[in-house]
Amino acid sequence: MLNPMNNQQRVDTIEKRLKEAFSPRHLEVIDDSDSHIGHAGAASGGGHFILIIQADSLADKRPLEAHRLIYRALDSMMQSEIHALQIKVLK
């Protein structure tokens, strides 16, 4: 990757993509990367994030289906900018 994002840019981009994809009523993206400093998985440079989202378009989905839709919205970020993503979908 030529110009990796810093974690604030990652948070901003995650929020932008999820707002465009789901028009959520509630959205929190928490940078949890500092909790993983020194872990082997953190060496790749991708961030660790906690996502809390409430959106009408996800309300009737099973957890696995909602997670897949979220991963699809974040597509290429999941391969580079996001190392770990903990997801909580509020009904």
In a domain, 35, yes or no: yes
* pLDDT band at 3; cut points 50, 70, 90: low
Q: Please tell me whether residue 64 adopts helix, strand or coil conformation.
A: helix
Q: Is residue 27 part of a domain?
A: yes
- The string of pLDDT tens digits covering residues 12-58 is 999 999 999 999 999 999 999 887 666 655 556 688 999 999 999 99
- Whether 1 is in a domain gets the answer no
The alpha-helical segments, DSSP class H, found in the chain are: 7-22, 56-59, 63-74
Instruction: Give yes or no for a contact between 90 and 27, defined as CB atoms under 8 angstroms apart.
Output: no
SS3 content of the chain, % helix, strand, coil (to 5): 50, 25, 25
CATH number for the domain including 75? 3.30.300.90
58, 46, 69: which is closest to 91 by C-alpha?
A: 58
Q: Which domain holds residue 42?
A: 7-90
How many folded domains does the chain comprise? 1
Residue 2 placed within a domain: no
In a domain, 25, yes or no: yes
Has residue 82 been placed in a domain? yes
